[in-house]
Amino acid sequence: MTRHSDAHPQMADHWWWRPGWQSGTRFLTFHVTFQDAPEVHRLAAAYRTALAGVGGLDLVPDRWLHLTTQGLGFADAVPDDEVQAVLTATADRLARIPAFDLTLHRPEITREAVRWEAAPAGPPSAVRAALRDAIRSVRGTVEEADDGFAPHISIAYSNATGPTAPAQAALDAVDAAPATAHIDHVELIVLHRDRRMYEWETHTRLPLGQQTPPE
């Protein structure tokens, strides 16, 4: 079924500097990443090919595909001991959440991106709730509002103001089977956006559903 973006007739530049951000800023955040997700890479390649001729878009390569989950804080504002305490609390909570599958169908256009809505939304929402609980237990406060979370993976970001129609036509021309990814871990990453792309180094990989057996 074709999905049209009537609510967003115009796209806007995604890369404006949010409060606290500038070139060189590094941010600690928990993401689901897709380096080892061949089905997602297959689907992403089909849509990158279709969108390649559409102006005003920065296409996301496989290595930078991600599901934004929960921020921890700017790297220079979170002491190392707090990072380690959050990781300990997070590992304990994520061990209670089983691994799960996510399915990506057709991307949709939002005001600043072209993205898949990940389904089902329940498991990544449960992961985010566990992350927020872990952060709050250590730091007392949590970055970002609790409501409005919509699990998604962007395939392109808008870098200019312009109509959505060319991107929608390109999406409508793609005939590709949905992709499924098995999610068995979350990563704490050190993120930046210095080159008009979200890029990162992995700090710690945290498995799902792996409880330590009793001694």
pLDDT of residue 4 exceeding 50, the answer is no
| Mean of per-residue pLDDT scores for the chain | 94
pLDDT (mean) for 57-65:
98
Q: For residue 9, what pLDDT is reported?
A: 84
13 domain-assigned: no
Q: For residue 5, what pLDDT is reported?
A: 43
Q: For residue 211, what pLDDT is reported?
A: 64
DSSP category for residue 196: S
Residue range of the domain that includes 158: 25-207
pLDDT of residue 3 exceeding 70, the answer is no
| Per-residue pLDDT tens over the stretch 154-213 | 999 999 999 999 999 999 999 999 999 999 999 999 999 999 999 999 999 999 998 654
pLDDT (mean) for 98-109:
97
Grouping H, G, I as helix, E, B as strand and the rest as coil, residue 135 is helix
Distance in angstroms (rounded) separating the CA atoms of residues 29 and 26: 10
| Per-residue pLDDT tens over the stretch 8-25 | 689 999 999 999 999 999
139 domain-assigned: yes
Q: Rg of the Cα trace of the chain?
A: 18
Distance in angstroms (rounded) separating the CA atoms of residues 204 and 191: 13
Q: How many domains does the chain have?
A: 1
185 domain-assigned: yes
Q: For residue 210, what pLDDT is reported?
A: 81
Q: What is the reported pTM? A: 0.92
Distance in angstroms (rounded) separating the CA atoms of residues 199 and 188: 13
pLDDT of residue 6 exceeding 90, the answer is no
Q: What sign has the CA pseudo-torsion 156, 157, 159, 161?
A: positive
Q: For residue 2, what pLDDT is reported?
A: 38
pLDDT of residue 7 exceeding 70, the answer is no
Distance in angstroms (rounded) separating the CA atoms of residues 44 and 154: 10
171 domain-assigned: yes
3 domain-assigned: no
214 domain-assigned: no
Q: For residue 1, what pLDDT is reported?
A: 35
20 domain-assigned: no
DSSP sequence for 29-95: EEEEE-TT-HHHHHHHHHHHHHHTTSTTEEEPPGGG-EEEEEEEEEGGGS-HHHHHHHHHHHHHHHT
The tokens for 15 are: 């890369």
19 domain-assigned: no
CATH of the domain at 49: 3.90.1140.10
